[in-house]
Structure 1
């Protein structure tokens, strides 16, 4: 079976050789450099202990310095899986998400045709270069001189000129023996709909050849000399060779430079790439006049794990960056991300380098922001979060963005990073290791002292809520006691959501000291909740709260409060079970069970005497206290 032209090239571009080989070998981390795609391992083809098997992931080739085996991903799969060539293609295509083409008996003819089209584009490169040096190219030469592109730069990037003639390129290539229909197929000329003579696709434009990673010219980009031209930049139309959504300007040279350790920079246009290259940033590429596509993003990640996107310092540049975030989020994985370098207002890389030199460009690249920061900027810039509803909207949009990330580990780290940024936005300042009311613009007004300490402030709290508040406040001021009461904390189950979150933070804090706990509460945005606890009247008057530091007194308090909570849970459980068993239990037995549970609760609640005993209580009174509950249950039973 013959494969259609370009299928294997695309398959190789979508396949990571390091991932394919990594299924069969154990990489030597001391010798390998994953960031550069330079990987070493013991050879899978012969028995050895030293890592002599080398994989160049960027170029897609492997070589063993011991047994001299070499090849690409296809040959590796053939050798290790014991399959034929087409089976290896099918395996890799399936992993790359590509559909195997149906049998094409004309594949060879198509391949030959693509070769002829490539010859036409190469002939066009030479002809455009010649026109730039001719008399008709004078204005174009002046423009390039004004942009600082000397002869060496023009030669390096093969810049040419398309004269303002209807059939200049078409006639010249036809005279050199190229078939008219191939000149049209290459995108050098266009065929009128009425079937008339072809005309040049590019006229009065500076021409930038676009080459694939192998160095073959596949199309052109043309910049208009006329400032009133309908399109400032014009790309070749899509042809059998050229797909602008799957190509990058300066791809091959940038890949080679990135392999030598240069940072990969993604600029917006041809002139930016040329300016960056001349300033020493030789691993620079550009999409072809449109927003970066998914295919282009995958090509970038094949060159470098973390390309730096350098966009123009205007609204359009920022919008392009934000669109790229939406494209990249579902494709992110560990070790594959983006950084963003936004130019100063109104400047592109070419302008910046001319005005301030390569050092200024390097400084901006060094301070490039990770993608999570730009995501945060997009969701928060120019917006106010002075109400719960607005904060909830922010939370929803952030959750929606993070949910698009497929890698579970990366999703978790993004969530944590955004939580930290959210905390910085809404944080309550602390002074000297103590919690103080927030004074930020989003903070609610602090309650008056007389209200804060009043019965009114605690009146809406249940008995259990008040005990939970005292326990949590005590533990926050003496976190060294957390381990001693770990089991009791787990059993608390506070009804108040803030109390429940505080209890969770206490159990999760790895270091039992106040500073570590304070940081954990800050990150969880629970500092205000703790402030509220410390200012409750029944908490504030506790001596171990007024003068923290007496650990033993605090421990005795916690033991008593936990005992009271346990007794309440006991009576509640006993009452629930007893009332549910009313159909099967006589009233005397029921009275005994409930009185026994209430006795235990009152012993826990009663103040201790000097000998540690609690005063007695009237069990008959306790029985009368439950009469209504029992009668109510019986009444419900009779009315069913």
Structure 2
């Protein structure tokens, strides 16, 4: 059976040799460099203990320095599985998700035709290059000189020119007895709809030859000289040689440069690739006027595990980056991703090179951001998250994107990275960072700031001196934090409540931050992170405090039900006490003048509510309702509080009359 042209090239592109070989060998971790595709192992073809078997994943070849076995993925499967060529191809195609082609009795005929088409394309390359030296190409030469392309650069990149004539190339090829069907089949001419001679595809354009990974000319890109031309850039039509979605400009040279250690860059157009390569960034390619396809992404990863996408600093460039993220997420594998280097607004890499030089480009490449950061920016940029509903919408959107990742390990790391960035965003907006916060001002919602103790007026009231409320709050915070550390599985259910709980001292604030950021990594990792942050004694001091140690969830660590109940109750009580204390302070401040019946009544009601809150800490027979932050509130206390406010006439500062 003959395979269609290009099938084996596509199979080798989609198959990772290190993955194929990795099923049969144990890699030497000390000698191998997975990031560069440079892998070493004991040879599977002869008995040895040293790692003399070398796999170059980027070039797709293996070689043993002991027995001198060498080959590619197909030959490796043939040798290790003891199968024939076609069976080895079928095994690799099945693993790569490529259907085997139907038997084609004309396959050899097609292969011969592709060879003929490639020969015609080489004739066209020479003719276009010759036209660039004629008098009719003076404007094109001036344009190239303005863009910084000297004659030696044009020769190196085989740049040519298509005169503004209908049959210039056609007549030249016909003069060499090239059949019509080959000229049209190569995409160099189009049939006339009026019955006349076929006409040239490229007219009045600067020509850039496009070569495949084997170095064959398969297509052309043409830049219009007429500024009013509807198509500024024009590519060859798709032919038996050229598939636009499976081709990259400069792929052969970029593969060689990347093999020497240069980072693989993905630019937007021909001129960017040429400018970057001439400036020393030789491992540079470009898609051919379209968004990057899945096949092109596979080609990029075949060359480098982490290509850098250099996109123009305009809206179109940013949109292209965001589309690429959605394409890449389901295809991510360990050690294989993308980074993004955004050019300054309104500039492309060629502009940056001309204005600031290679060092400026290198700085932008060094600052390239990982894909997870660009994903985060897309979801949060220009948006305000000032309500639980908006935060929930953000979480939902990010969760949906992360679930596209098939690899569970990568999906877990993405989730943790997103959680870290989410924490930084909301902590910055809430003024977090430890320490105490200013006392809530009148009119602010309860619990919006950590209480700072009563004002001068409130200090003299019996409500403030009846007990150390701040000490009680500190104890409740300690119990909540210790419970979360003992059973981090429950933290996710209380994230909103914990985020809104501003702690009374810096130590508790740091612990709360560490819990929210690292609880998803497991109990042991969380404890290690806490010990690294506050020292080995800090965690032990918290857990050994008497009021913490006697808590049921600490005595039975890991019990989800008990821990959930403990955290819910303590959050509810802490919120209730702080809210009531704020009201007490506000009422006490109103006693600056003559006390009236309304203020006195408010203080009495506040005192009674505080007493009920204290009593709930000693016996728990109440029925609860769930607050917006996930905390459980005493149903009776909620009802009484509502009743109290219903009877207050805020316009007069006193009790309503009935």
Does the CA contact (< 8 Å) of 2:420 and 2:517 recur in 1? yes
2:54 matched to which residue of 1?
54
Matches within 5 A, 1:496-507: 498=494
1:159 matched to which residue of 2?
159
1:4 maps onto 2:4 in alignment = yes
* Helix, strand or coil at the partner of 1:133: coil
* Helix, strand or coil at the partner of 1:30: coil
- Report the Cα distance in structure 2 between the residues aligned to 1:475 and 1:258, rounded to whole angstroms: 56
2:478 matched to which residue of 1?
474
Does the CA contact (< 8 Å) of 1:405 and 1:411 recur in 2? yes
Determine which of 499, 514, 523 is the counterpart of 2:517.
Answer: 523
* Alpha-carbon distance, 1:447 to partner: 7.7
1:175 maps onto 2:175 in alignment = yes
Bigger radius of gyration among the two: 1
* Helix, strand or coil at the partner of 1:401: helix
* Alpha-carbon distance, 1:514 to partner: 5.7
- Report the Cα distance in structure 2 between the residues aligned to 1:160 and 1:499, rounded to whole angstroms: 63
What does the per-residue CA deviation read over 1:431-459, in whole Å, with 9 as the maximum and x for residues that have no partner? 5x5454799x999843877899x9xxxxx
* Helix, strand or coil at the partner of 2:161: strand
1:586 matched to which residue of 2?
none
324-333 vs 89-98, which moves further: 324-333
2:187 matched to which residue of 1?
187
Q: Which runs of 5+ in 1 are unaligned?
A: 455-467, 506-512, 527-547, 570-601, 607-640
Report the CA distance shift for 1:444/1:208 in structure 2 as closer, same or farther (over 3 A): farther
Report the CA distance shift for 1:490/1:136 in structure 2 as closer, same or farther (over 3 A): closer
* Alpha-carbon distance, 1:326 to partner: 1.0
* Helix, strand or coil at the partner of 1:206: strand
What does the per-residue CA deviation read over 1:564-589, in whole Å, with 9 as the maximum and x for residues that have no partner? x99xx9xxxxxxxxxxxxxxxxxxxx
Does the CA contact (< 8 Å) of 2:435 and 2:509 recur in 1? no
1:557 matched to which residue of 2?
547
- Report the Cα distance in structure 2 between the residues aligned to 1:73 and 1:475, rounded to whole angstroms: 59
* Alpha-carbon distance, 1:173 to partner: 1.0
1:299 matched to which residue of 2?
299
What does the per-residue CA deviation read over 1:347-392, in whole Å, with 9 as the maximum and x for residues that have no partner? 1000100110000000000000111111111111111111221111
2:393 matched to which residue of 1?
393
Report the CA distance shift for 1:442/1:78 in structure 2 as closer, same or farther (over 3 A): farther
Does the CA contact (< 8 Å) of 1:472 and 1:502 recur in 2? no
- Report the Cα distance in structure 2 between the residues aligned to 1:44 and 1:272, rounded to whole angstroms: 44
- Report the Cα distance in structure 2 between the residues aligned to 1:102 and 1:394, rounded to whole angstroms: 48
* Alpha-carbon distance, 1:47 to partner: 1.0
1:334 matched to which residue of 2?
334
- Report the Cα distance in structure 1 between the residues aligned to 2:445 and 2:131, rounded to whole angstroms: 65
1:73 matched to which residue of 2?
73
- Report the Cα distance in structure 2 between the residues aligned to 1:438 and 1:250, rounded to whole angstroms: 64
Q: How many correspondences in the alignment? A: 522
Matches within 5 A, 1:602-621: none
* Helix, strand or coil at the partner of 1:31: coil
1:446 maps onto 2:474 in alignment = no
Does the CA contact (< 8 Å) of 2:437 and 2:451 recur in 1? no
Does the CA contact (< 8 Å) of 1:423 and 1:524 recur in 2? no
- Report the Cα distance in structure 2 between the residues aligned to 1:438 and 1:523, rounded to whole angstroms: 27
Report the CA distance shift for 1:444/1:327 in structure 2 as closer, same or farther (over 3 A): farther
Report the CA distance shift for 1:418/1:561 in structure 2 as closer, same or farther (over 3 A): closer
Report the CA distance shift for 1:80/1:165 in structure 2 as closer, same or farther (over 3 A): same
2:239 matched to which residue of 1?
239
1:368 matched to which residue of 2?
368
CA RMSD of aligned residues (A): 3.8
Does the CA contact (< 8 Å) of 2:438 and 2:450 recur in 1? no
- Report the Cα distance in structure 1 between the residues aligned to 2:446 and 2:239, rounded to whole angstroms: 60
* Helix, strand or coil at the partner of 2:313: coil
* Alpha-carbon distance, 1:501 to partner: 7.9
Matches within 5 A, 1:71-220: 71-220=71-220
1:588 matched to which residue of 2?
none
- Report the Cα distance in structure 2 between the residues aligned to 1:204 and 1:442, rounded to whole angstroms: 70
382-391 vs 30-39, which moves further: 30-39
Report the CA distance shift for 1:295/1:444 in structure 2 as closer, same or farther (over 3 A): farther
What does the per-residue CA deviation read over 1:588-629, in whole Å, with 9 as the maximum and x for residues that have no partner? xxxxxxxxxxxxxx9x969xxxxxxxxxxxxxxxxxxxxxxx
Does the CA contact (< 8 Å) of 1:476 and 1:517 recur in 2? no
Report the CA distance shift for 1:559/1:90 in structure 2 as closer, same or farther (over 3 A): closer
What does the per-residue CA deviation read over 1:190-236, in whole Å, with 9 as the maximum and x for residues that have no partner? 11345532100000000000000010010000000000001000000
Report the CA distance shift for 1:444/1:105 in structure 2 as closer, same or farther (over 3 A): farther
* Helix, strand or coil at the partner of 1:120: helix
- Report the Cα distance in structure 2 between the residues aligned to 1:60 and 1:443, rounded to whole angstroms: 65
- Report the Cα distance in structure 1 between the residues aligned to 2:408 and 2:223, rounded to whole angstroms: 45
Report the CA distance shift for 1:156/1:413 in structure 2 as closer, same or farther (over 3 A): same
Does the CA contact (< 8 Å) of 1:341 and 1:364 recur in 2? yes
What does the per-residue CA deviation read over 1:444-484, in whole Å, with 9 as the maximum and x for residues that have no partner? 843877899x9xxxxxxxxxxxxx9886523368x5x999x
Report the CA distance shift for 1:226/1:265 in structure 2 as closer, same or farther (over 3 A): same
Does the CA contact (< 8 Å) of 1:248 and 1:288 recur in 2? yes
1:587 matched to which residue of 2?
none
Does the CA contact (< 8 Å) of 1:17 and 1:57 recur in 2? yes
* Helix, strand or coil at the partner of 1:344: strand
Does the CA contact (< 8 Å) of 1:140 and 1:206 recur in 2? yes
Report the CA distance shift for 1:100/1:382 in structure 2 as closer, same or farther (over 3 A): same
- Report the Cα distance in structure 1 between the residues aligned to 2:276 and 2:447, rounded to whole angstroms: 50
- Report the Cα distance in structure 1 between the residues aligned to 2:274 and 2:439, rounded to whole angstroms: 51
Report the CA distance shift for 1:207/1:66 in structure 2 as closer, same or farther (over 3 A): same
Does the CA contact (< 8 Å) of 1:331 and 1:406 recur in 2? yes
TM normalised by structure 2 equals: 0.73
Report the CA distance shift for 1:201/1:43 in structure 2 as closer, same or farther (over 3 A): same
* Helix, strand or coil at the partner of 2:324: helix
Matches within 5 A, 1:575-614: none
Does the CA contact (< 8 Å) of 2:267 and 2:284 recur in 1? yes
TM normalised by structure 1 equals: 0.75
